[in-house]
Structure 1
């Protein structure tokens, strides 16, 4: 079981999920008046774009109203359901972004190894990889909550099978639910807490609660460091 929080606003229905890429396609259809023109504008295959619309409509209902060619020519336009989904997506993205900009994890540590700007930093919780410019051993790391992915310890992939090489085990200590998203606080040891974002629906579906064991993973490129103030 995976609790994905690395941000890509998503709206799910059954096994089908409306993603940012789908939103781009729907908006291109609205702008260009046909699936073919939308696919061309986005540099995508028409057949794949058409197939994706069919998949989305099987889950969400009619999204695109198609008109056959004739004296006025054919084309496509968005159905009301598609415009409702786009509005829901925009609200979800806005809430994610707003919370993420204020919810950051801050870790203090010491650089113990370096490969250019990519440094290995010892913190009170664990050793992590981060982007740290040269300028001293003591550093302050920051990590946005929307860059963290939470996973079950029993199903978390090994470090060599994911680009998110930073992996910290911990337990959920608090869940602050908002209108659409929840800020999950994870105790990762050493007196350090890590923040992650999930949708409220995912909290319920995945049964996240205080005491749930998780693995928090995040990419080194999402972890930024600066020299600590002296």
Structure 2
């Protein structure tokens, strides 16, 4: 009989940014209270914390975020207050989605914790599922089935369209339908990078354009990260020679070309 672990897997989720704590359960709840009550004082009181401490938490998040999560409102019949920005609401949604995924992960660990061999196998499967550098959530807007494969069109969170071609069997196994939320994964090595003004005609169905946010240059290759207009990022790998040939530079425009057959789809559960 396999040995069992004396403990039950448990934990709490924290999101970090620039190696600093950014968003956790307490901060997410504070943001939700601000959104509900429209007042920092009322939100702090509802959570049983001091007004200054609440503002310190908010300012720490605002300083780390790409855009403010909370802003002051002046004037009006109520004399002003505090409100969440659209970016703040989006961050709450993303945190709650990550928290739900983390909870499912802990539930899977708990289910396998009585058998160390099965637990190690589970961890290996999870690592394989998350090895792709590019991961985007999107919602299916169209499905066109052929004799063997199906073309699935997604709308990513930033509004960009993305086309995937998968087998009909995969569509059935994943129970895909219009409106289904899916995770799209693409390996960095499957990304083809071009300058934005490159007048290329290619067989790649997907063309995602944005601004070069970061270039991580090694001895032979470089990782190029683009920031798309809707906020998503795309990371590709090219040779150092290609960086020079394509004129890629941080702050410059570029596009990522992706074949529909290189897009992997995954669903929760």
TM-score, structure 2 as length reference: 0.44
Q: Which has the higher contact order (CA 8 A, sep 6+)?
A: 1
Alignment of 1:31-180 (within 5 A): 102=131, 104-116=133-145, 117-125=150-158, 126-132=160-166, 133-134=170-171, 135-136=175-176, 137-157=180-200, 161-180=201-220
Distance 2:221 2:131 in 1: 14
Distance 1:219 1:176 in 2: 24
SS in 1 for 2:242: helix
Distance 1:167 1:183 in 2: 18
Q: How many residues align?
A: 126
| Structure 2 spans left out of the alignment, 5+ residues | 1-129
Looking at secondary structure, tell me which structure has more strand per residue: 1
Structure 1 residues 146 and 156: CA distance shift in structure 2, 3 A: farther
Distance 2:216 2:131 in 1: 14
| Structure 1 spans left out of the alignment, 5+ residues | 1-100
1:103 CA drift (Å): 5.3
Deviations 1:2-22 (CA, angstroms, capped at 9, x unpaired): xxxxxxxxxxxxxxxxxxxxx
RMSD, aligned α-carbons: 1.9
1:217 CA drift (Å): 1.1
Distance 1:150 1:156 in 2: 13
1:152 CA drift (Å): 1.9
SS in 1 for 2:244: helix
TM-score, structure 1 as length reference: 0.51
- TM superposition outliers: structure 1 runs of 4+ over 6 Å: none
SS in 1 for 2:226: strand
Distance 1:102 1:176 in 2: 18
Alignment of 1:211 onto 2:251: yes
